[in-house]
Structure 1
Amino acid sequence: MYRILIAEDSKPILRNIKELLSKSELPVQVVHTASNGEDALKGFASHFIDILITDIRMPKMDGLALIEEAKKANPKLKVVLISGYNDFEYTRKAINLQVADYLLKPVERSALIEVMERVIAQICEECRDEFAGLDVILEPAASRRLTLQPEFFRRKKLVILLHLQYFHPEAPGWRPESIQNVLSRSFSQHPFWVFAINKPRQMLVLTEPSFIESTVSTMERLAEIRARLYEEGLSTSITGRFMPIMPKDIADCCHALSDFISSRISILEPCLADMAYPGSQSIEVLEDMERLGARYCDMIIKLQKEPFLRQLGEQLGKWGRSNLRIVQLQRFVALLANAFALHQSVRDERIDWEFQAEMQQLFERTSYVDFCSGLLTLLENRFTLVQSLNKKSGYELFLLIDGYLQSNLYSQVSLNDLVAAFHVSPSYISRVVRKHAQRTLMQHYLDLKITEARKVMKSNPDLKIKELSEALCFYDQHYFSKVFKEYAGCNPSEYKRMLHGNGS
């Protein structure tokens, strides 16, 4: 409901406006009336007013002076002036004070309804603009359903973020409406607004500044919320910003809280953290995850399946006992997934994507033991896949590379060209060629070119050596002769004489 204050020194006009509004079916409520500006100003001290309807000329304090003072209490106050005068000076001052609309005496029902509908529409539009920033953090379905009453925008809010604990049994009560009901029952004297946001396992909770009482610490309040949610089967980590902020700043605050709690939540125990005091939740760096991950990635590269799985099982058990932070575990799992993706002999983006998705889904398991079992099984299967690809695809890849090179003897193929053509790493190409050709990639390619040159010289003995050199993409004839001698045992001129001497 939009709260209205009417200031009018004519009692019949005041009663008429109040009665018309009460019968209008508009979402408005007259919370205060006054017969002069001074009495009206007292109403602003005891009520939050959305719309002021005031006469221009009143005793003690006129309408324009009242507007100036009232806007100090609520800068977004909407004002409707009532006037029976065509006074240009008053009108000019009213414009400077950003009056929303005018009504002429006698006030008629149709004019009043029309003006109030316009003013309410202005307030709604301003509220939407002010809260538009929430669209970037709300879960899309929640954003589409979002409707907030004007009461929401009247005061600053405290921002609290809930994070559902990982490796916890299914939580059917993890819905905004369920959580709002729990909080409203537990803290009935305080209003709550709960939203699903676009970060997994997180909920945004807003409440009034009065929620933090002078006799209760912020951490005690967080502990109370956690206890109430736990009674409903919800194990949650909770953080908050307990300096009240305006709705337009909520989105940025929510981002900061999300990063803050995500870096602190651990495998087994939920945490409480006041963002203003980061030390309220100590962070122990258990291991250098990058260094540890590199050791396991090295075993993946070397396909040391058995020691990898044995040592990883032991490491996961150790982390469970030491209550490792989730962000560290997620980083470690990502390092392993990337190592397998890089190792695979012939890249298949669909298989890689499915593997990455399966690794992430492990964090939705209902217990840490189940997570560990699933991770070890998934990695064992991945090892088996990569080993089978390595056994059967190395020679197949060499044949493909060899065919590609032979098809491009009259152009210049680089290692990067082969990487782009076959979607494998440069180092893997080099290893495959050396293994199956018994020489480097460049040596193999030059040998193919010289073999082609000898065939051409036999079939076309009149072709000049310089022309043949250029056709095979050697940068000059001298270099061609040098390479030719290295691979054929003689230079091109000697080879041609040998061919003629044999009568070919």
Structure 2
Amino acid sequence: MYNVLVVDDEPLICKGLCSLLASSGLAISQLFTAHNCYEAMDYLRMEDIDLLITDIQMGEMSGIQLMHQAKMIKPWLPAIVISAHETFQYAQLAIRLGAKDYLIKPLNGEQFLDAVRNVLLGVNKAVPPQDETLAGFREQFRLEQPTPERTALLHRLLAEPASAAETAERLQARFGTELSGPYYAVFRVRLGAASELLQYAALNVAMELLDREWRPVAFYDGDDAVAVIVQWSDARYEENGTNKIDQLDMLGRSLHANIAKYLRVPCVVGISQILRGAAFLGELGAQAAKAVRWNEEHRELGVFYYGDFSWARYAQGQEPSEEEMAARNNLIVAKAKAYIDEHYAQKGLTLHEVAQKNHVSPNYLSYLFKKNTGHNLWEYVIKLRMEESRRLILHTDLRRYEIAERVGYESPEHFSKIFKKVYGVSPTELKK
């Protein structure tokens, strides 16, 4: 059974789509509706959503921005976009963020249900045993087995920065491998088991996931790992509204989730920073390899961004003590809590905003916050909002819509739903 979230600022459209879905015969357990993106984000954080269906144009926050935030919360979440705008730019952005379909209003009911059905079929379909999965990879994908010569050249690209330009030209001439950047980042995926077939399968998953959008170049990196170089053109890198650390975090978590799901093998993903120029590929490769090392300190975490950790002591040949690392982590959490304490009533507060203030990735901040406090970051935000709203209900004469506004909710109805979920009674019932 599946949970579906429908987001549109026109209530009649939400109602119509939900009616279609409810009578479709699809295995839908719960249907959630939101009339703006802020409400939708609450559902994404609090409920186990299997499919997001969203409009594009919706007031202060667009459907594209919602999809980006959804990817930060659940990188594997599929989405279907519905829009009144048959604009290539919107469709391109939606597909880049993983939209499975882009439908134009007015919707054809049968076409809409076909799109939903096709997406849900792939959400939690049974994954065959690992041996069967791997056996089918060579038939399923057309990616050629990497040649030793190409792999050696790519290793040289990372190991010999001085000859990077010459090596890139040879790769292009001999194998059609384009490395034009000019911005690069490197992912290193260490697999939980070593075999050439497993590496080949992981390489295919990475190429399928990143596709042409990131111009990925993937290759074997030792006996138990694969490395992936992703690239940005000047225009892509300068796009507004796209935080690069968020993008890396999203891609790393997607790689980790898909390899774990489809290959049924544990893995660790190390992510480098982004640098301009092929001459820095060696440094980026080393960063990604170092990031993987942090799995030794944090076994329960599988994705590591190089910029989250302090490497100064390592550069001097000194490993920081457990006490030093704990103190740094405690400081990150304390700063995050202080920021939330001050801004919890801000409408549209996001995890990546809090992470940016701490200069760490959203993934690492979420992990540290849960580890240190026992609850996730958004649970803490809701706790503060609900405690303040309860105080206002009991000790002031403010109306429901005024209280909702004061604690960060645009819709009084949505505020009431969250309040009842937390306290078991509605604001009105509590007041009485």
Q: State the TM-score, normalized to the length of structure 2.
A: 0.31
Larger Rg: 1
Q: Which has the higher contact order (CA 8 A, sep 6+)?
A: 2
Q: State the TM-score, normalized to the length of structure 1.
A: 0.26
